């Protein structure tokens, strides 16, 4: 039996607990113009279990040793301070292993596959939103090798009006700067822009800027949260 793949964060973020969403802003009722999606876990399915099993196999480490090392330098990778290969070379060094370029390359390939997965229901919902006339964007904490993989595999990325990959900007969520950059690219105000992410800390950062935000766990829960926030007046509901 394969070991379970990692959650998209350290495991300390409580999933499926929506935060209150403002119902109005000064000057009238809320009118959405855009929806910003996180990539991992929101537009994707769970991490690929085959890829996770291969990461463990190649490293030769048990999951309880592997996983803390995996997350230790992930933010540096997401912020572009490390490339994909640099991340895995650092991983091997931190694990007390000798430098091994071939092993780092193989780990890097499987790591990219780990996150090259889809959430069909959310992708269908994005199309519904576009048909309603709203803009859509992806704002993701993500490294270069993962982006290269998903750009090769997923033609649907081009359906989004704005793509913000953290490694290209040297900053990652929940830093307010990357949210502001996304808003600037969309040409929308915070209160006009719904943000959806699976991590509470990222949702809270969006709300601090005045963006309505929902913490994602499942499509079914998202439907409930949209209705509870009266956002079904502006948006179609995911099926």
pLDDT (tens digit, 9 = 90+) per residue, 140-169? 999 999 999 999 999 999 999 999 999 999
Strand partners, 194: 35
* Averaged confidence pLDDT in the chain: 90
What is residue 7's predicted lDDT score, i.e. its pLDDT? Answer: 54
Q: Quick check: 2 pLDDT over 70?
A: no
What is residue 27's predicted lDDT score, i.e. its pLDDT? Answer: 34
Separation CA 35–CA 78 (nearest Å): 22
Separation CA 41–CA 18 (nearest Å): 16
**Which residue do the tokens 């829960």 mark?**
221
Superfamily covering domain 24-45+118-233: HAD superfamily/HAD-like (3.40.50.1000)
Three-state DSSP at 77 gives helix
HEC readout, 105-161? HHHHHHHHHHCCCCCHHHHHHHHHHHHCCCEEEEEECCCHHHHHHHHHHCHHHHHCC
Contacts of residue 221, defined as CB under 8 A and 6 or more positions apart, other chains included, come to 16, 18
Strand ranges, E, within the chain: 24-25, 28-29, 34-37, 135-140, 162-165, 193-197, 213-215
Separation CA 137–CA 159 (nearest Å): 9
Q: Quick check: 22 pLDDT over 60?
A: no
CA nearest neighbour of 158 among 195, 134, 127, 186: 127
Query: CA-CA distances (angstroms) from residue 196 to 124, 157, 210, 215?
Result: 15, 17, 14, 6
Separation CA 187–CA 181 (nearest Å): 10
Q: Using one digit for the tens of pLDDT, what is the confidence trace for 107-150?
A: 999 999 999 999 999 999 999 999 999 999 999 999 999 999 99
Q: Quick check: 10 pLDDT over 60?
A: no
Q: Using one digit for the tens of pLDDT, what is the confidence trace for 23-64?
A: 333 333 458 999 999 999 999 989 999 999 999 999 999 999
pTM for the model stands at 0.88
User: For the chain, what are the domain ranges?
Assistant: 24-45+118-233, 49-114
Q: Using one digit for the tens of pLDDT, what is the confidence trace for 168-210?
A: 999 999 999 999 999 999 999 999 999 999 999 999 999 999 9
Element (H, E) at 89: helix 84-94
What is residue 19's predicted lDDT score, i.e. its pLDDT? Answer: 39
Question: Which is higher by pLDDT, 135 or 11?
Answer: 135
Separation CA 161–CA 126 (nearest Å): 11
Strand partners, 35: 136, 194
């Amino acid at each position: 039996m394969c070991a379970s793949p990692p959650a998209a964060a350290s495991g300390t973020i409580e999933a499926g607990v929506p935060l209150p969403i403002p119902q109005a802003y000064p000057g009238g009722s809320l009118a959405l113009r855009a929806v910003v999606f996180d990539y991992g876990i929101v537009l994707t399915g769970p991490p690929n279990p085959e890829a996770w099993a291969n990461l463990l196999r190649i490293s030769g480490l048990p999951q309880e040793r592997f996983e803390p090392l995996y997350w230790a330098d992930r933010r540096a990778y997401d912020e572009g301070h490390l490339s994909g290969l640099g991340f895995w070379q650092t991983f091997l060094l931190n694990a007390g292993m000798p430098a091994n370029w071939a092993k780092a390359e193989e780990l890097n390939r499987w790591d990219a596959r780990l996150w090259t997965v889809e959430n069909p229901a959310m992708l269908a919902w994005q199309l519904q939103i576009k048909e309603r006339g709203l803009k859509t964007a992806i704002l993701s904490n993500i490294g270069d090798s993962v982006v290269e993989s998903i750009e090769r595999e997923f033609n649907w990325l081009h359906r989004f009006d704005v793509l913000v990959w953290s490694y290209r900007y040297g900053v990652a969520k929940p830093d307010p700067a990357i949210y502001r950059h996304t808003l600037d690219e969309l040409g929308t105000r915070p209160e006009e822009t719904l943000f959806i992410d699976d991590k509470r800390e990222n949702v809270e950062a969006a709300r601090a800027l005045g963006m309505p935000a929902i913490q994602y766990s499942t499509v079914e829960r998202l439907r409930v949260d949209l209705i509870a926030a009266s956002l079904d007046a502006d948006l179609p509901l995911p099926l």
